[in-house]
Amino acid sequence: MPLVLTLEQAYARAKADAGFQAELAGYLSSYVGRPSPLYFARRLSEHHRARIWLKREELNHTGSHKINNCMGQILLARRMGKTRIIAETGAGQHGVATATACALFDLPCVVYMGAVDVERQAPNVLRMQLLGAEVRPVTSGSATLKDAMNEALRDWVANVSDTYYLIGSAAGPHPYPVMVRDFQTVIGREARAQILEAEGVLPDALVACVGGGSNAIGLFHPFLADESVRLFGVEAAGEGMQSRRHAAALAGGRPGVLHGAHSYLLQDGDGQILEAHSISAGLDYPGIGPEHAWLRDVGRARYLTATDEEALAAFALCARLEGIVPALESAHALAKLPEVAAEVGKDGIVVLGLSGRGDKDLASIAPQLGRLA
Amino acid sequence: MSLKRIEARFAALSGEGRAAFTPYIVAGDPDADTAWRILERLPAAGADLIELGMPFSDPMADGPAIQRGAARALAAGMDTAGVLALARRFRLGDQSTPIVLMGYYNPILNFGLVAFAAAAAEAGVDGLIVVDVPPEESGPLADALEAHDLALIRLATPTTDAARLAIVARRTKGFVYFVSVTGVTGGKEADAGSIKSQVEQARTATRLPVAVGFGVKTAEGAAKIAKIADAVVVGSALVEVVSESIALKRDPVPKVLDTVAAMAQAVHSARAGG
């Protein structure tokens, strides 16, 4: 507990410090490549009959939104005098972003990754190693994201004096969900200004995929007070909600406590945490960020689910229609465009968070690609 | 009984001038029957208090030994009701040895805090350690346990400073559990020298007995801690014995009890031996 209290205080000081914010803004602009474009997806718009804009987080350095948070937290870690960085990763996007930030600042980096994910996200493992990070496969439990997080927490409590734990999702103990959200709100702040510039009005709906929920909360948060803007999060339904092999904590879970957060969790009748299942390693978490649970409970945001099959179809469709290969995670958001478009109508404006690019997924879905092409 | 059973046991041991030996086993490891045969015989082997681990799917404060033990127990069908059933069965034959459950919050929350406290008290459980609930978040749990006179035992670690110790001690009952190493269970060996000063610091914040655990691996190590603390907890080393026995396709019960007996002997004679 003292370690998260110390972090909370350090973050509060940094957040209020104009020097910290200016330093972060500088790296986001010159190193990450922000602002990311807001792109009018003409052919997806024609296909789905709505005005669809893509917030192109996949164009960021390292290929996903994860770097936004990593730049913020690595600057915080440096301020705190920490000399070693650890992280957990699912799809490897957060691991790559962390390894990148560590290379930039010459900090040793250990990334915990479920052994199953090491297998299915091999390109990202190589990238992390090339960047100088040590990837430690985690074989305990289901050998996926939650187990990687368990192992990172074990490392952190054993090495608290010199180690900074750089959590990549809007989950985990306070202050992480708030801090990760804050660093990701750059997505929504930019998107809000960009859509007002381009369309002259606020969008009718926002759509983003949700695992722990960092890209979604980053997109949603600057629009929370805009009540006309409908918010849609999309959870991974894996092999289907009836199959029990899914990762949809809101649609298929109950409130509980894991990793220091009280939120919805996939759990059995005894309160044991269930393995999440999704074709997308980055959504494979049995919980969800607590702020999403709150947005759902108060009715501000709605949460849909997309199956592996639906995500794969949307993945291929986006590639064909827009020349953009999305991450499988982001493909879950794309998969729900028919529902969202039907709701907002053909003149309705939709901003979709395209959180990452799909190069990393090609090898793992190669067997299905022939069928999709 | 409940909290009073813990207090009575520490009072008696204090009178005898010795520390409490407190073995930890995972309830249901490797299966309910084997765990029962170990549990039943722990007092005869020298256990003064017993920590009964509640297996959890994501034991993030535990090292590999207890992770494996919990996984075995869950695979064999252990659940919260099963843990309480083991405690109840033990209590039928032993009215004086305190049982403290040690586990994680989610299964308890899932059971219902009030229902859990009632069921634990009815089963003859005396206290509870929940490793992933900090004092700031433990009000409802403390209320539920207090209503049934169960002790909520909180953890202090080497990173717990004096100000934090006061918070930890505030609603703690029975004893304070000092985690002797920064890290998870079963990791590096605890260093008796640094523990001594930290236990002394803990005593300035509480008049409760202080138990030390998390880094005690051997009889010699346990004996050193017994000179400093009021109770010595050994867990991973015992769960490791279960793992080794299974690997050799042997019944774990005799070897676990032999290990308990050797450690209990070391703890009980530590202060007499100087």
CB distance B27 to B238 below 8 Å = no
The string of pLDDT tens digits covering residues A114-168 is 998 898 788 899 999 999 999 999 998 888 889 999 999 999 999 989 999 999 9
Question: Contact B105/A257, CB-based, under 8 Å?
Answer: yes
pLDDT for A273 beyond 70: yes
Q: What share of chain A is helix, strand, coil (3-state, %, to 5)?
A: 50, 20, 30
Active-site positions of A? 66, 88, 355
A3 vs B contacts (CB less than 8 Å): 159
Give the DSSP per-residue string, B20-56.
EEEEEEETTSS-HHHHHHHHHHHHHHT-SSEEEE---
A153 vs B contacts (CB less than 8 Å): 60
Question: Contact B182/A158, CB-based, under 8 Å?
Answer: yes
The string of pLDDT tens digits covering residues B10-27 is 999 999 999 999 999 999
pLDDT confidence bin for B264, thresholds 50/70/90: very high
Peptide bond into A255 cis (omega under 30): no
pLDDT for A110 beyond 90: yes
Between CA B199 and CA B212 the distance in angstroms is 8
Which residues make Cβ contacts (< 8 Å) with residue A371, sequence separation at least 6? none
* β-strand partners of A267: A273
The chain-wide mean pLDDT, for chain A, equals: 95
The string of pLDDT tens digits covering residues A279-323 is 998 898 999 999 999 999 999 999 999 999 999 999 999 999 999
* β-strand partners of B232: B21, B212
pLDDT for B96 beyond 80: yes
Question: Contact A159/B182, CB-based, under 8 Å?
Answer: yes
Between CA A53 and CA B113 the distance in angstroms is 47
Q: Which of A3, A256, A267 sits opposite B159 (nearest CB)?
A: A3
Question: Contact B183/A157, CB-based, under 8 Å?
Answer: yes
Nearest CA in chain A to B133: A260
More confident residue, A300 or B161: A300
Q: Which of A3, A160, A272 sits opposite B57 (nearest CB)?
A: A272
The string of pLDDT tens digits covering residues A215-256 is 999 999 999 999 999 999 999 999 999 998 999 999 999 999
CB distance A112 to A151 below 8 Å = yes
CB distance A101 to A176 below 8 Å = no
Between CA A289 and CA A261 the distance in angstroms is 8
Read off the pLDDT of each residue in B155-169 and give the average, rounded to a whole number. Answer: 89
Interchain contact A265–B (C-beta under 8 A): yes
Between CA A166 and CA A176 the distance in angstroms is 9
CB distance A146 to A189 below 8 Å = no
pLDDT for A370 beyond 80: no
Tokens for A117?
């994910």
| pTM metric for this prediction | 0.95
Percent of chain B surpassing pLDDT 70 = 99
Q: Which residue has the tokens 């827009």?
A: A322
Question: Contact B57/A273, CB-based, under 8 Å?
Answer: yes
CA distances, A299 to each of A225, A227, A302 (Å): 13, 11, 7
What pLDDT is recorded for position A360?
Answer: 87
What pLDDT is recorded for position B140?
Answer: 97
Q: Which of B67, B111, B164 sits opposite A2 (nearest CB)?
A: B164
Contacts across the A-B interface (CB distance below 8 Å): 81
B51 carries an active-site annotation:
yes
CB distance B110 to B83 below 8 Å = no
Instruction: Give residue ranges of B with CB < 8 Å to any A CB.
Output: 56-61, 63-64, 67, 71, 74, 79-81, 105-111, 132-136, 159-161, 164, 181-184, 187
Of B7, B29, B62, B94, the catalytic one is B62
Q: Which of A2, A146, A257 sits opposite B106 (nearest CB)?
A: A257
Amino acid symbol at B126: D
Interchain contact A157–B (C-beta under 8 A): yes
Q: Which of A154, A159, A272 sits opposite B60 (nearest CB)?
A: A154
Q: What backbone torsions phi and psi does residue B180 show, to the nearest 5 degrees?
A: -80, -10
Tokens for B87?
């405690």
Question: Contact A141/B74, CB-based, under 8 Å?
Answer: no
Question: Contact B134/A256, CB-based, under 8 Å?
Answer: no
pLDDT for B274 beyond 70: no
Between CA A195 and CA A174 the distance in angstroms is 32
Q: Which of A146, A153, A271 sits opposite B109 (nearest CB)?
A: A271
Q: What backbone torsions phi and psi does residue B106 show, to the nearest 5 degrees?
A: -60, -45
The string of pLDDT tens digits covering residues A188-218 is 999 999 999 999 999 999 999 999 999 999 9
* β-strand partners of B130: B103
Tokens for A20?
């910290």
Nearest CA in chain A to B60: A150
CB distance B126 to B100 below 8 Å = yes
What pLDDT is recorded for position B273?
Answer: 52
Between CA A5 and CA B274 the distance in angstroms is 41
Shortest alpha-carbon distance between residue A7 and chain B (Å): 14
What pLDDT is recorded for position B198?
Answer: 87
Question: Contact B109/A2, CB-based, under 8 Å?
Answer: no
Of the ranges A344-353, B215-224, B263-272, which is most confident? A344-353
Read off the pLDDT of each residue in B41-50 and give the average, rounded to a whole number. Answer: 98
- Alpha-carbon Rg for chain A in angstroms: 19
Shortest alpha-carbon distance between residue A189 and chain B (Å): 33
Interchain contact A154–B (C-beta under 8 A): yes
pLDDT for B160 beyond 80: yes
pLDDT for A261 beyond 50: yes
Candidates B26, B57, B165, partner chain A, best to mutate (most A CBs within 10 A): B57
Nearest CA in chain A to B68: A140
Amino acid symbol at A366: A
The string of pLDDT tens digits covering residues A51-87 is 999 999 999 999 999 999 999 999 999 999 999 999 9
pLDDT confidence bin for B214, thresholds 50/70/90: confident
